[in-house]
Chains A and B, each alone.
Chain A
Amino acid sequence: MSLASFSFLAFCIVTLIVFYLIPQRFQWIWLLFMNIIFYVNAGAGTVVFILATSIISWLGCMGLSKLRSREMVWLKNNKQLPREEKQREKSESEKRRKRVLACVLVFILGQLICLKYGNFLLQNINGIFHTDFLLLGILMPLGISFYTIFCIGYCIDVYRGQYEAQTNLLKHITVITFFPCITQGPIERYDHLSVQIFAEHKISWNEIRFGTWLMLWGFFKKLVIADSLAVATNLVFYDSQGKYRGFYIFLAAILYAVQLYADFSGYTDIVRGFSQCLGISLAENFDSPYLSGNVAEFWRRWHMSLGTWFKDYVFYSVLRSKWCQSFDKWSRKRFSRRISSNLTTTAGLLINWTLIGLWHGSSWKFAAYGLYYGLIMIVSIWLKPVYEKLLCIFHIQEESFLWRLFEGIRTFLIVSFGYILFCANEFMHFLSLVKNMVCYPNPWIFVNGGIFSMGINRRSALALAFFVLILLFVDILHSKGHRLRAEIAQSNLIFRWLLLYGVIFAILIFGAYGPGYSASDFIYQNF
């Protein structure tokens, strides 16, 4: 079921109506039922994988919780024992918990590796060792990357004792399979989501109104902007057999940046809006990312839930790991404090970004995509003193509008270039796109109407440009701290209705759906 479809809309309406009609204590059971319907609809055969992940993580976390409470009880009962004895028990308990966590993670990650990266690994083994292993013909479960890291986060949190494990298996499955988040996130924190799902929800006019508005805005971004731009980007990147070169590729990369943002943030708005209608508040995933001044800031504002997850569970874990600590000690003996600190951070960033890249997909181009950002951040860390010196020499005011504009454009171009790698079929395709972009400069396409040969005619292009400007305007208002929905709700009725009708009719008229458009999935749904 595509999220940008009437069937999904109908599904949401039915879910919502029944959710508020049944007694509040049964609301979560209804959600569990609808989660399963949604997931089975996406592919009945793959339900077994998400159920296996749910059951194993539930069992593991129950075990972790039991071990921790047993340790607490032991410590309480043996207060009189010497400190060393207590320490030994603690460390024994910690080891046992580590083993349980390792077992759970091996299973969950093993499943992800087999299903998502199995063929990638086999292809590489076949390529390197000239073997002839047959590729696996397994269907990838919907949202496997999302629910796997969600479960991993939950297990690590329980291991760290941040909160208690969920004792009810059905409730646990309800949280893992919560259908608005299952396909593309946001990657929630277990405790944040579960507390809300199991709370008893009363119908709230404001929640429903604000939720619906957010959904509308999401549909607008997806159908009016993202899918319309997809016509041009698909033509240039995939369907043209190298016909489009030079600035066509440059322009397509920029359009792809807008498309991906509208697509992914559109999806997030739809599911956040729907969850809000249910009285569940999901985490923000985007914070006007294209208004960032540098790449690190961009990633703090783009797909925020993924960035935070990797920072909390990978980057800091790597920095806190034994080998990283010993490497840090070793480097401090040999280099200055700044250099040794940079070296440790570099190692952490390389691992973190390679994993982020590979999380997106099972191919070297995704690893390269992650490394691309990792390397940019590493270079910026190492060159920071030079950069600061240059700013000083040229008397550049970092807070001035022009400088911030320059930084914003620079970051946008770096990110757009990265998207060529992101959307290329494979690494060689990326190289050929870059070669075609650089070697055949044709700036005249901007004046001779050539840009209208990318599948979007002049009229549509004008309309699209207008809508992209609206998107930019809304992002600027957001970044300035405006709470737009609250402000719209305060405005007069005529303005509010005009705005709503404007969005609804823009979706209906300018949306890329129906004949002439192939229904396109959300891009991140494939991860």
Chain B
Amino acid sequence: MRKIISMGIFILLGGILFAYGQKILIPKWNDAETWYSSDIVEGFYAEKRDSLDLLFMGSSQFMSGLSPMELYKRHGIASYSLALDSQDTVLSYYWLREACKYQSPKVLAFECQMLFQDTPSVFYHRKNLDYMKFSFDKFKAIKELCSHSPNENMSDYLFPALYYHTRYQELTKEDFTEPFKKKECPYKGFVFLNGQVKMQYQGIVCDSEDAEEISAYKLKWLQKILAYCKKKKIDIVLVKTPRVGDWTAKRHAAVEKLAEEHDIPFLDFNEKLLYREAGFQDYVDFAEAYHMNMFGALKLSICLGKYFDMAFTLPDRRKDPEYAAWDKDLRRYEREYQHYERTACKDFYRCLDFLTKKDDLNQYRAG
């Protein structure tokens, strides 16, 4: 008996050490270069239970193209963007299930880009899954991914230390301290991009009757999302953010058809009218062809905010004392917004405007 107990303690202690070692070895995606993926996920888990009314899911288009804090600021909507880099539809489904364990969202906005995009590389799968808490859903997501890509091992996902063990060569002090820091994501999943690339884009005319085929695999998982939302009584809205290059009228037609079949709204901000109505400017709002910058995100958030306010009865949380922390986050967001706005400013007269404003922000760059 003594031997069994001592073996049990040995395994338990080993497990604890392994878990801590895993936290050290796992990459910390908490900077602009890595699009704050880990902060977004850990920030989500740090949110108060059942405090979110609206969820955003999909790929990086939403990460940089939509700011939940603008929705809170203007309409009092408590929302969070759980969209992550190249979030495959299958992962959106499992993330939705995961999110619903902690929150009771009333509406889900789903970004449609990934319906037409190839299965992303292992790197993106890892960014989507590594910080998800372990659960049966995570296990099923891993199983699903590994059954589709022969190069991926379930053990690597279940025990990320096995995948990242070679990182011992590049560990920094932050790797050891980060696991003990308080987790928060004050921008609620929004990633500031302040680069500006001038595009030649005025939206597209969506008059095509031909629809591009959505792969059966993607469709299967989207339908699972729809079924799950129905079961949980979550309204769903399909959204396509402005994207230059590969978003076509045929793709629009495919999603529109799908939306009609399921009787759900579809907002395509590439559609010429909607694009113009939202006030997008092709020389201001794009960080690059596929992603909007913070200025574009502001316009999209204003526009979507109005839509959600009108179409759904989402509560205004601004006066709710439970949401005092959100007000703090909002101030932080506004400061950050101004900071990024200044650093992005390349127009001489606007820079002068900034100089005349009196506030605590004194860092800016005149281009």
User: Which A residues contact B (CB, under 8 angstroms)?
Assistant: 6, 205, 457, 459-460, 493, 497, 500-501, 504-505, 508-511, 513-516
Give A457 to B168 CA distance when docked, in angstroms: 12
Contacts A501-B14, A501-B17, A515-B163 given; indicate if A509 touches B3 (C-beta within 8 A): no
Q: Is the CB of B3 within 8 A of A514?
A: no
The answer to whether B169 and A508 have CB atoms under 8 Å apart is no
Question: In whole angstroms, what is the CA distance A205 to B17 when docked?
Answer: 25
The answer to whether residues A509 and B163 also contact, given A6-B155, A501-B17, A504-B14 and a CB cut-off of 8 A, is no
Most buried by B among A205, A497, A508, A516: A508
Q: A205-B3, A501-B17 are in contact. Are A508 and B165 (CB under 8 A)?
A: yes
Pairs A–B under 8 Å by Cβ, sample size 5:
A6-B155, A460-B169, A497-B13, A511-B165, A514-B162
Segment 151-203 of B: residues with Cβ below 8 Å from A: 155-156, 161-163, 165-166, 168-169
In whole angstroms, what is the CA distance A6 to B153 when docked? 11
Residue in contact with A510 in the complex, picked from B18, B122, B162, B168, CB distance below 8 Å: B168
Does B120 make an interface contact (CB < 8 A)?
A: no
A509 touches B165 (CB 8 A): yes
Contact (Cβ within 8 A) B21 A514:
no
With a cutoff of 8 Å between Cβ atoms, the chain A residues found around residue B165 in the complex are 508-511, 513-514
Asked if B169 contacts A514 (CB within 8 A), the reply is no
Complex alpha-carbon distance, A61 and B125, angstroms: 59
Binding site for A on B (CB under 8 A): 3, 6, 10, 13-14, 17-18, 21, 25, 122, 155-156, 161-163, 165-166, 168-169
CA distance A239 to B113 in the complex (A): 41
Once the chains bind, are B14 and A514 in contact (CB under 8 Å)? no
A509 close to B21 (CB less than 8 A): yes
Q: Verify A508–B161 contact, CB threshold 8 A.
A: yes
Inter-chain contacts of A505 with B (CB < 8 A): 17-18, 21
CB-CB under 8 A from A513, the residues of chain B are 162, 165
Query: With A and B bound together, what is the CA distance between A6 and B13 in angstroms?
Result: 21
Cα–Cα, bound, A171→B255 (Å): 66
Question: Is A516's CB under 8 angstroms from B166's CB?
Answer: yes
Query: Which of B6, B13, B122, B162 counts the most A-chain CB atoms under 10 A from its CB?
Result: B162
- How distant is A516 from chain B, measured CB to nearest CB, in Å? 6
Whether A459 and B162, one on each chain, are in contact in the complex, defined by CB atoms closer than 8 angstroms, is no
Beyond A205-B3, A505-B18, A508-B18, 12 additional contacts (C-beta under 8 Å) are A460-B169, A501-B14, A504-B14, A505-B21, A508-B161, A508-B165, A509-B161, A509-B165, A511-B165, A513-B162, A513-B165, A515-B156
A6 (CB) vs chain B CBs: closest residue: B155
**Chain B residues whose C-beta falls within 8 Å of the C-beta of A460 in the assembled complex:** 169
With A205-B3, A514-B162, A514-B163 given, is the CB distance from A509 to B168 under 8 Å? Answer: yes
- Whole-angstrom distance between the alpha carbons of A505 and B14 in the complex? 9
B226 CB → nearest A CB, Å: 35
Residues of A within 8 A of B10 (CB): 497, 500
Complex Cα–Cα for A346 and B10 (A): 57
Measured between beta carbons, the chain A residues less than 8 angstroms from B25 are 509
Write the nearest CB–CB distance from A461 to chain B, whole angstroms: 11
Question: Is A459 a contact of B156 with CB atoms below 8 Å?
Answer: no
Q: Nearest 4 CB-CB pairs, A to B?
A: A459-B169, A509-B165, A509-B168, A514-B163
Min C-beta distance of A483 to chain B, whole Å: 21
Q: How far is the CA of A389 from the CA of B21 in the complex (A)?
A: 60
Smallest distance from the beta carbon of B168 to chain A beta carbons, Å? 5
Chain B residue contacts of A516, Cβ below 8 A? 166
Residues of A within 8 A of B168 (CB): 509-510
* Complex CA distance for A510 and B169, rounded to whole angstroms: 10
Cα-based distance from A457 to B10 in the complex (angstroms): 34
Report the bound CA distance from A121 to B168 in whole Å: 49
With A205-B3, A459-B169, A509-B165 known as contacts, the answer to whether A514 contacts B18 (CB < 8 A) is no
How far, in Å, is B233 (CB) from chain A's closest CB? Answer: 42
Partner of B166, one of A205, A497, A514: A514
Contacts of B166 in A (CB 8 A): 514-516
A514: which B residues are within 8 A, CB to CB? 156, 162-163, 165-166
A514 to B10 alpha-carbon distance, docked (Å): 26
Look across to chain B and name the residue whose beta carbon is closest to the beta carbon of A507. Answer: B165
Which residue of chain A has its CB nearest to the CB of B17? A501
Measured CB to CB, the nearest residue on chain A to B123 is: A515
Q: Which residue of B lies closest to A459 (CB)?
A: B169
Given A460-B169, A514-B156, CB of A508 within 8 Å of CB of B162: yes
Please report the C-alpha to C-alpha distance between residue A459 and residue B161 in the assembled complex, in whole angstroms: 19
Q: Measured between C-beta atoms, what is the minimum distance from B70 to chain A in Å?
A: 39
- Tell me, rounded to whole Å, the shortest Cβ–Cβ distance linking A464 to chain B: 12
Nearest A-chain residue to B169, judged by Cβ: A459
CB distance from A475 to the nearest CB of B (A): 26
User: Could you tell me the distance between the alpha carbons of A513 and B156 in the complex, rounded to whole angstroms?
Assistant: 11
Q: Which residues of the partner chain A approach B155 to less than 8 Å between Cβ atoms?
A: 6
Contacts of A511 on B, CB cut-off 8 Å?
165
Smallest CB separation, A494 vs chain B (Å): 11
Q: Which residues of A contact B162 (CB under 8 A)?
A: 508, 513-514
The CA of A409 and the CA of B122, in the complex, are separated in Å by: 47
Contacts of A508 in B (CB 8 A): 18, 21, 161-162, 165
CB proximity of A103 to chain B, nearest CB, Å: 47
Q: Can you name the residue of chain A whose Cβ is closest to the Cβ of B161?
A: A508
**C-alpha gap A510/B165 in the complex (Å):** 7
Question: Chain A residues with Cβ under 8 A from B21's Cβ?
Answer: 505, 508-509
The residue in A6, A500, A511, A515 that gathers the most chain B C-beta atoms within 10 A of its C-beta is A515
Q: Which residue of A lies closest to B122 (CB)?
A: A515
**What residues of A have a CB within 8 angstroms of the CB of B161 in the complex?**
508-509
Closest Cβ of chain B to A520, distance in Å, is 15
In the bound complex, what is the Cα–Cα distance between A514 and B162 (angstroms)? Answer: 7
Q: When chains A and B are docked, how far (Å) is the Cα of A514 from the Cα of B25?
A: 14
CA distance A500 to B13 in the complex (A): 12
Q: How many Å from the CB of B361 to the closest CB on chain A?
A: 41
Q: Which residues of B contact A509 (CB under 8 A)?
A: 21, 25, 161, 165, 168
* A500 contact set on B, CB distance < 8 A: 10
From residue B365, how far is it (CB to closest CB) to chain A in Å? 37
Q: How far is the CA of A6 from the CA of B159 in the complex (A)?
A: 12
Q: Which of B17, B163, B165 has the most chain A CB within a 10 Å cutoff?
A: B165
- A460, A497, A501, A514 interface centre (most CB from chain B within 10 Å): A514
> Which B residues are in CB contact (< 8 Å) with A515?
122, 156, 163, 166
Q: How far is the CA of A273 from the CA of B29 in the complex (A)?
A: 41
With a cutoff of 8 Å between Cβ atoms, the chain B residues found around residue A459 in the complex are 169
Counting chain A CB atoms within 10 Å of each CB, the highest count among B3, B18, B25, B166 belongs to B166
